[in-house]
């Protein structure tokens, strides 16, 4: 995942505020084909429409920026000091919980009355920050100013003495208006929305008999169709005649498009944010507590993997497969995922050839492998091949999809008890018990080397610092110093819970396959219950709860919150795609059918054209957004072409 880090400004011996820096099947056939090839046009249209914005953004830096060169998510702040003594300017991000102020710089005393001394600084525009003005050398606080600066704007901070008093007045004045860096997102959204509307209208028009007849008459096969119809009559689809004593085919044997659509949505967003997401902060992982768009997709992928486990194991058991053979298959698949994660898409390739001395062991595919293996084993313990013979008259039958698998639930609960015990009771050297903070400058700098508490300690103990992720997102705002791995050992317990909740969604589908309303109502009930648990754990706050929502820790509240979202989203997609068939799931359906190939491919070919190219202005959100949308669209088109060729990579 893309990461950010603090930078230093060399002007006037001051450090700048943290900023973002890049690191680097038949009726719908025609409609789906048109929809897919139109995706290629989307990238071009976005480029044409948005490229002028990039030029506007880049050219806006020329005027009024003679002293400082601004990059993305930066603004210039000129501090004018009219006081008779020098002042120190410090800053703190509003997203930084209980943090120390960081020094921005020192402004000398005013030259004489009416002639202030001025110093230019670069400040971050991602989040609101609080500026603190202190006198030196006695460190007396003069004023505090919360302000949200705009990208590439010019601002002046005036520090003056109030008339007839010893008080100090501080005020921020906008010298040059900032640019609107969110316009490219709006343009891209409108283009995609318009394209979706055109597809919907085109599908309705194509469904008209008159239109289809006109297209056939104008096609190259018009004469062939006439001859066939004149000799044999019009072709008709005759439904097969079945004996009434045969039961209708089970709908569970039919692949649910909603599941692949859900997986595809998660995967497409994951690819987009991994490629950079236009370098917008909300398409990057949250520094510590809280959620951004980038924090949603991986848990959803784990969730739908659990749903697929329930359906596939049930189908294989009905087909006559033995549990031992399925166990061997699960172990082999998990091993393949782990090896691919360690040896193929390891982020250490950025540092050159792989070496054991600094090989990162945890990772996304590694966590998928572990979660898949454990949940598949749990399901093999309790799964039933034939569900039709189960009683529906018992008092507990309304909860059969839950109570029937109580041994597996017991195992998961025990795992969660283990997570809670290790998280809150494991002694961590020089850190308080149950510490869930980021360390660094957080918590007033008292626990600098306690990043992640027990989770970080266990990883450093079992893996070693050199085998962990070296640039965690906590460095962006909290300026942490030690490595921390968001896919570490302790968090893997909660990823098992996430996959198991997805498994529960699969059990609901299996038990109520002929009753869509029951499926949707149970999805909503599970979403509500998990939402209540999340509200309790977090106290409906970002930082004040018992267990905050935290992607780096994969905290319990993070899993319950994302599982709540997943149940509700899956219910909506199931209703739209499989129940009412208002939407085929395209284009997300296609990458969802080839998820492993798309994920591994986008990582391996990340630095190759057309997924990346040299930009004329690397400090433009618009150019990054165009590049990332083109790259993501390419993988959607590739997955569509593979689908048409019936090429699927299964492991």
> Does the pLDDT value for residue 231 go beyond 60?
no
Beta carbons of 564 and 527 less than 8 angstroms apart: yes
Predicted pLDDT at 299 = 96
> pTM surpassing 0.85?
no
What are 26-35's pLDDT values in tens digits?
A: 444 444 444 4
pLDDT band at 220 (very low <50, low <70, confident <90, very high): low
> Does the pLDDT value for residue 393 go beyond 90?
no
Beta carbons of 637 and 36 less than 8 angstroms apart: yes
Query: Distance between CA atoms of 643 and 593, rounded to whole angstroms?
Result: 8
Predicted pLDDT at 140 = 87
Pick the CATH number of 74-179 from 2.60.40, 3.40.50, 3.30.750, 3.90.25: 2.60.40
**Which whole number is the average pLDDT over 421-443?**
95
State the chain's mean pLDDT as an integer: 84
Q: Which of 64, 148, 152, 285 is catalytic?
A: 285
Predicted pLDDT at 388 = 60
Predicted pLDDT at 63 = 35
pLDDT band at 216 (very low <50, low <70, confident <90, very high): confident
Of 344-348, 370-374, 384-388, 638-642, the least confident: 384-388
Query: Distance between CA atoms of 390 and 283, rounded to whole angstroms?
Result: 46
Give residues with Cβ within 8 angstroms of 75, minimum separation 6: 122, 123, 124, 125, 149, 150, 151, 152, 153, 154, 155, 178
Predicted pLDDT at 167 = 80
pLDDT band at 243 (very low <50, low <70, confident <90, very high): very low
DSSP three-state, residue 325: helix
Q: Of 406, 390, 458, 387, which Cα lies nearest the Cα of 428?
A: 458
Predicted pLDDT at 351 = 66
Q: Of 290, 378, 370, 369, which Cα lies nearest the Cα of 555?
A: 290
Predicted pLDDT at 353 = 74
Active site residue 285: yes
Give residues with Cβ within 8 angstroms of 645, minimum separation 6: none
pLDDT band at 426 (very low <50, low <70, confident <90, very high): very high
Q: Domain limits of the chain? A: 74-179, 257-345+358-645
Tokens of 173: 């004045």
What are 491-505's pLDDT values in tens digits?
A: 999 999 999 999 999
> Does the pLDDT value for residue 227 go beyond 70?
no
What are 139-191's pLDDT values in tens digits?
A: 788 899 999 999 999 999 999 887 756 688 899 999 999 999 999 999 999 99
DSSP three-state, residue 449: coil
Task: Find the Cα–Cα–Cα–Cα dihedral 471, 8, 153, 68, rounded to 10°.
Answer: -140
Q: Of 187, 194, 193, which Cα lies nearest the Cα of 52?
A: 187
Give residues with Cβ within 8 angstroms of 441, minimum separation 6: 96, 99, 100, 102, 448, 478, 479
Give the total residue count for the chain: 651
Predicted pLDDT at 363 = 93
Predicted pLDDT at 21 = 36
Of 45-54, 71-80, 312-321, 401-410, the least confident: 45-54
């Amino acid at each position: 995942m893309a990461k950010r880090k603090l930078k230093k400004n060399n002007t006037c011996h001051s450090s700048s505020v943290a900023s973002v820096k890049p690191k680097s099947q038949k009726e719908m056939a025609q409609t789906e084909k048109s929809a897919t090839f139109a995706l290629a046009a989307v990238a071009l249209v976005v480029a044409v429409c948005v490229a002028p914005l990039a030029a506007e953004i880049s050219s806006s830096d020329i005027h009024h920026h003679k002293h400082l060169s601004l990059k993305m998510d930066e603004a210039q702040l000129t501090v004018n000091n009219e006081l008779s003594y020098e002042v120190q300017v410090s800053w703190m991000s509003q997203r930084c919980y209980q943090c120390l102020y960081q020094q921005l710089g020192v402004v000398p005393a005013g030259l004489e009355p009416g002639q202030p001394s001025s110093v230019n600084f670069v400040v971050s525009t991602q989040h609101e920050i609080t500026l603190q003005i202190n006198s030196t050398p006695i460190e007396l606080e003069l004023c505090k100013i919360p302000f949200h600066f705009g990208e590439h704007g010019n601002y002046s901070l005036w520090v003056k003495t109030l008339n007839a008093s010893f008080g100090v007045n501080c005020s921020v004045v906008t010298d040059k208006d900032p640019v609107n860096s969110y316009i490219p997102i709006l343009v891209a959204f409108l283009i995609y929305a318009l394209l979706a509307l055109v597809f919907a209208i085109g599908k309705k028009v194509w469904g008209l008999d008159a239109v289809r007849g006109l297209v056939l008459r104008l096609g190259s096969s018009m004469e062939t169709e006439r001859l066939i119809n004149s000799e044999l009559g019009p072709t008709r689809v005759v439904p097969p005649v079945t004996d009434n004593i045969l039961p209708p085919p089970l709908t569970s044997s039919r692949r649910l498009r909603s599941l692949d659509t859900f997986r595809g949505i998660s995967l497409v967003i994951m690819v987009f944010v991994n490629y950079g997401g236009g370098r917008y902060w909300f398409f990057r992982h949250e520094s510590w507590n809280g959620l951004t768009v980038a924090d949603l997709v991986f848990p959803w992928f784990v969730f739908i993997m659990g749903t697929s486990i329930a359906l596939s194991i049930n189908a294989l058991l009905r087909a006559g497969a033995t549990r031992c053979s399925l166990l061997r298959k699960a172990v082999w698949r998990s091993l393949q995922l782990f090896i691919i994660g360690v040896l193929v898409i390891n982020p250490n390739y950025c540092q050159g050839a792989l070496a054991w001395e600094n090989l990162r062991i945890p990772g996304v595919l590694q966590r998928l492998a572990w979660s898949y293996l454990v949940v598949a084993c749990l399901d093999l313990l309790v799964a039933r091949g034939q569900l039709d013979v189960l009683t529906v008259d018992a008092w507990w039958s309304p909860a059969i999809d839950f109570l029937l698998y109580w041994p597996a639930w017991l195992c998961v609960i025990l795992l969660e008890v283990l997570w809670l015990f290790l998280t809150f009771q494991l002694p961590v050297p020089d850190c308080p018990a149950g510490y869930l903070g980021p360390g660094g400058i957080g918590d007033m700098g008292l626990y600098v080397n306690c990043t992640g508490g027990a989770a970080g300690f266990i990883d450093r103990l079992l893996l070693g610092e050199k085998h962990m992720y070296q640039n965690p997102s906590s460095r962006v705002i909290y300026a942490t110093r030690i490595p921390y791995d968001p896919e570490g050992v302790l968090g893997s317990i909660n990823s098992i819970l996430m996959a198991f909740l997805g498994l529960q969604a699969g059990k609901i589908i299996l038990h109520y396959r002929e009753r869509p309303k029951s499926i949707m109502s149970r999805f909503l009930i599970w979403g509500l219950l998990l939402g209540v648990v999340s509200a309790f754990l977090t106290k409906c706050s970002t930082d004040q709860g018992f267990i905050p929502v935290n992607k780096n820790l994969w905290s319990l509240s993070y899993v319950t919150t994302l599982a709540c979202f997943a149940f509700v989203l899956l219910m909506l997609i199931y209703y739209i795609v499989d129940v009412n068939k208002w939407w085929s799931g395209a284009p997300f359906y296609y990458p969802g059918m080839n998820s492993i190939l798309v994920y591994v491919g986008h990582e391996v070919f990340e630095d190759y054209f057309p997924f990346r190219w040299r930009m004329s202005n690397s400090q433009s959100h618009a150019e990054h957004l165009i590049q990332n949308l083109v790259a993501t669209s390419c993988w959607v088109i590739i997955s569509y072409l593979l689908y048409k060729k019936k090429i699927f990579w299964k492991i």
